Chains A and B, each alone.
Chain A
């Protein structure tokens, strides 16, 4: 009845064994290495605009990225490089967006984290926080109307976004419509510079789940195996028809809001507490202790990630930049209704 867009991912992602911490680690380390490279390029003046890192949030982000399947809907937020890669974005497309390549999915019209490919179910966030909650809900609404079952939609937000009206409206609507939405809340202790005490007054954000009539989960966001286990369970329940799910992960943003921000306001007690652990370090310990990987294997993964990142960034750096004289200055797809030529 409806035209479906073909899901054409630029890079096939493994569909098997997605549930393991080792699989998550692959995306975590790839995201970390890529973001370190982007930060370096930013400091070197190669990137115009902001660079926003997910350092400290890779475990949570990879957990949702690996829990989703091809055909699902994903609307990541600022610190979800790991989840984006796990969902199917290529390193090259991420690099192209940051570096302004005209071959990137946003063609220089938008940059950094505001990227996506809606036809692949990979929605492009806007900067207005909470907006994607109802948007993913709408995508799921359409899938249900078409008779599709077993689809899940997920979006990621931070503690700051839980204070927006859009978050409230969207999650309430998803619950009223009983749609398979999974909301991943990275409670990373700061919204830009604002600490959680100035953001909310409830004891714990997960308490809000009950208020919306959705299932709530609380996890330690620095614990990769816990992130994978719980997020995958939430996604499985949504897929099975249990309605919206909300996962709240406590963790610490290990860097400033963006690379322009020195994070001088950070409370060092948090950094020294368990919440300040680096989830990549924890993942390594867990994988080695469980025998799922050796130190050498993990080092090899890092080296492979570095090679992939170097190659992609090198390619993107050599590509042509957007050209204003070749730009189609038309905001409507219906050209006859455009006023672009008026000025």
Chain B
């Protein structure tokens, strides 16, 4: 029997997180001639996760199979962006984007600052862990990209955000890293797709509370909500802040929440050293120290590669159970 399975996020609804990403791309291709999608196995095959299923047929010549060349995929996107296009690069897995780091971090991210010419590319990263995926198909890389100037890093946690933020990503004149969570692809459902959304850079109060704040993003939003539900049965009201984008990071919303609750737990699925949760704690410690009634806490994956076996994987990353345990400590402190 597998241990520590992830929180059930399956909802009733008709549209999955993955379908929202596909719908956004279809809308973009239909409405903006500058848009094309370049990635491995994405044309007739429809992508490893089927995020582009049917789009190559619907938009001939604009959803294109790439050689296995992440560096050149991003390089091609940069050149096309300089000439006025709006390319979307699909990385097959976020993990493989390390092969494109030079073009993303050194080239795309420096372009506007160096030359004054914007570089509007979107790189889609199927991110995060699923049971059995192992060290090279499970990584969460948002912190690495967010470290560099010149990049926007989106981490949508909901079907609605997956849709509207991808639409906005293509509109933005700068390089956007779009971290879409593979576990949410199929497990998260909504009844429809919204026409309006919060702008990128604004966090969302996913669940209101008054006793403590969890600041998190992507799939960990749902683990954190499960934690809040469990503790609600004991009378605690936990506020969950969904960052939506980790860069820019909405410090104001976090400060506002901590001002209400006095307690902060930052949760992320990525590796523990540095990263988004460390940035959140650093900002609250420096800008909101006086708001805190207890030392802030953070919870991340363990400092090892992501393990393959579900028994190990379920313990490697935070889950509703470990978030709840950390929160109990925070509430006692």
**Interface of A with B (CB < 8 Å)?**
1-5, 73, 105-107, 109-110, 114, 116-119, 123-124, 126-128, 131-143, 145-146, 165-166, 169-170, 172-173, 176, 330-334, 336-339, 342
Instruction: Say yes or no: A169 contacts B79, CB within 8 Å.
Output: no
| Binary interface encoding of chain B residues 91-110 relative to chain A, with 1 for a CB under 8 A from any of its CBs, else 0 | 00000000000110011011
Instruction: Say yes or no: B80 contacts A169, CB within 8 Å.
Output: no
Chain B residue with the shortest CB-CB distance to A3: B84
Instruction: Say yes or no: A137 contacts B76, CB within 8 Å.
Output: yes
Chain A residue with the shortest CB-CB distance to B77: A138
Q: Which of B42-94 contact A (CB under 8 A)?
A: 61, 66-67, 69, 71-85, 87
Cβ contacts under 8 Å, B78 to chain A: 134-135, 138
Known: A139-B79, A141-B76, A173-B76. A331 touches B112 (CB 8 A): yes
Q: State how many angstroms separate the Cβ of A104 from the closest Cβ of chain B.
A: 11
Q: State how many angstroms separate the Cβ of B247 from the closest Cβ of chain A.
A: 7
Instruction: Say yes or no: B249 contacts A339, CB within 8 Å.
Output: yes
Q: Could you say which of A2, A114, A133, A334 contacts B33, with CB atoms under 8 Å apart?
A: A2
**Interface of B with A (CB < 8 Å)?**
33-34, 36, 61, 66-67, 69, 71-85, 87, 102-103, 106-107, 109-118, 149-150, 152, 172-174, 199-201, 247-249, 251, 283
Q: State how many angstroms separate the Cβ of A187 from the closest Cβ of chain B.
A: 22
**Given A146-B84, A170-B72, 13 new contacts (CB under 8 A):** A3-B84, A116-B115, A118-B111, A132-B75, A134-B78, A139-B83, A141-B79, A169-B67, A170-B75, A173-B73, A332-B174, A337-B174, A338-B248
CA distance A261 to B74 in the complex (A): 34
Instruction: Say yes or no: B115 contacts A334, CB within 8 Å.
Output: no
Cβ contacts under 8 Å, B66 to chain A: 173
Cβ contacts under 8 Å, A107 to chain B: 116
Q: State how many angstroms separate the Cβ of B178 from the closest Cβ of chain A.
A: 14
Chain B residue with the shortest CB-CB distance to A166: B71
Chain B residue with the shortest CB-CB distance to A117: B115
Cβ contacts under 8 Å, A119 to chain B: 117
Q: Could you say which of B74, B82, B103 contacts A139, with CB atoms under 8 Å apart?
A: B82
Chain A residue with the shortest CB-CB distance to B118: A333
Most buried by B among A1, A110, A337: A337
Known: A128-B102, A331-B149, A342-B251. A2 touches B85 (CB 8 A): yes
Known: A106-B114, A332-B112, A337-B152. A135 touches B84 (CB 8 A): no
Q: State how many angstroms separate the Cβ of B153 from the closest Cβ of chain A.
A: 10
Chain A residue with the shortest CB-CB distance to B200: A337
Instruction: Say yes or no: A142 contacts B106, CB within 8 Å.
Output: no
Q: Could you say which of A106, A145, A165 contacts B71, with CB atoms under 8 Å apart?
A: A165
CA distance A2 to B80 in the complex (A): 12
Most buried by A among B69, B111, B115: B115
Cβ contacts under 8 Å, B116 to chain A: 107
Chain B residue with the shortest CB-CB distance to A342: B251
Known: A173-B67, A332-B174, A337-B174. A137 touches B79 (CB 8 A): yes
Chain A residue with the shortest CB-CB distance to B34: A2
Cβ contacts under 8 Å, A132 to chain B: 75
Cβ contacts under 8 Å, A342 to chain B: 251, 283
Q: State how many angstroms separate the Cβ of B248 from the closest Cβ of chain A.
A: 5
Instruction: Say yes or no: A135 contacts B174, CB within 8 Å.
Output: no
Instruction: Say yes or no: A134 contacts B71, CB within 8 Å.
Output: yes
CA distance A337 to B152 in the complex (A): 7
CA distance A310 to B130 in the complex (A): 65
Instruction: Say yes or no: B114 contacts A131, CB within 8 Å.
Output: no
CA distance A1 to B81 in the complex (A): 15
Cβ contacts under 8 Å, A331 to chain B: 109-110, 112-113, 149-150
CA distance A1 to B35 in the complex (A): 12
Cβ contacts under 8 Å, B247 to chain A: 339
Cβ contacts under 8 Å, B118 to chain A: 333
Instruction: Say yes or no: B75 contacts A110, CB within 8 Å.
Output: no
Instruction: Say yes or no: B69 contacts A5, CB within 8 Å.
Output: no
Instruction: Say yes or no: A1 contacts B33, CB within 8 Å.
Output: yes
In the assembled complex, 22 residue pairs joining A and B whose CB atoms fall closer than 8 Å, in A order, are: A2-B85, A4-B84, A106-B114, A118-B111, A127-B106, A131-B75, A134-B69, A134-B72, A134-B74, A134-B75, A134-B78, A137-B79, A138-B77, A138-B82, A141-B79, A145-B80, A166-B71, A166-B103, A331-B149, A336-B199, A338-B248, A342-B283
CA distance A140 to B75 in the complex (A): 12
Q: State how many angstroms separate the Cβ of B189 from the closest Cβ of chain A.
A: 29
CA distance A146 to B85 in the complex (A): 9
Chain B residue with the shortest CB-CB distance to A137: B76
Instruction: Say yes or no: A334 contacts B172, CB within 8 Å.
Output: yes
Instruction: Say yes or no: A145 contacts B114, CB within 8 Å.
Output: no
CA distance A119 to B75 in the complex (A): 17
Instruction: Say yes or no: B80 contacts A128, CB within 8 Å.
Output: no
Known: A2-B34, A169-B69. A106 touches B82 (CB 8 A): no
Q: Could you say which of B34, B76, B112 contacts A134, with CB atoms under 8 Å apart?
A: B76
Instruction: Say yes or no: B115 contacts A138, CB within 8 Å.
Output: no
Instruction: Say yes or no: A110 contacts B79, CB within 8 Å.
Output: no
CA distance A16 to B149 in the complex (A): 44
Instruction: Say yes or no: A139 contacts B113, CB within 8 Å.
Output: no
Instruction: Say yes or no: A5 contacts B84, CB within 8 Å.
Output: yes
Cβ contacts under 8 Å, A133 to chain B: 72, 75
Chain B residue with the shortest CB-CB distance to A1: B33
**6 interchain residue pairs of minimum CB distance:** A138-B79, A134-B75, A142-B83, A138-B76, A169-B72, A134-B72
Known: A109-B113, A118-B117, A331-B149. A339 touches B248 (CB 8 A): yes
Q: State how many angstroms separate the Cβ of A160 from the closest Cβ of chain B.
A: 16
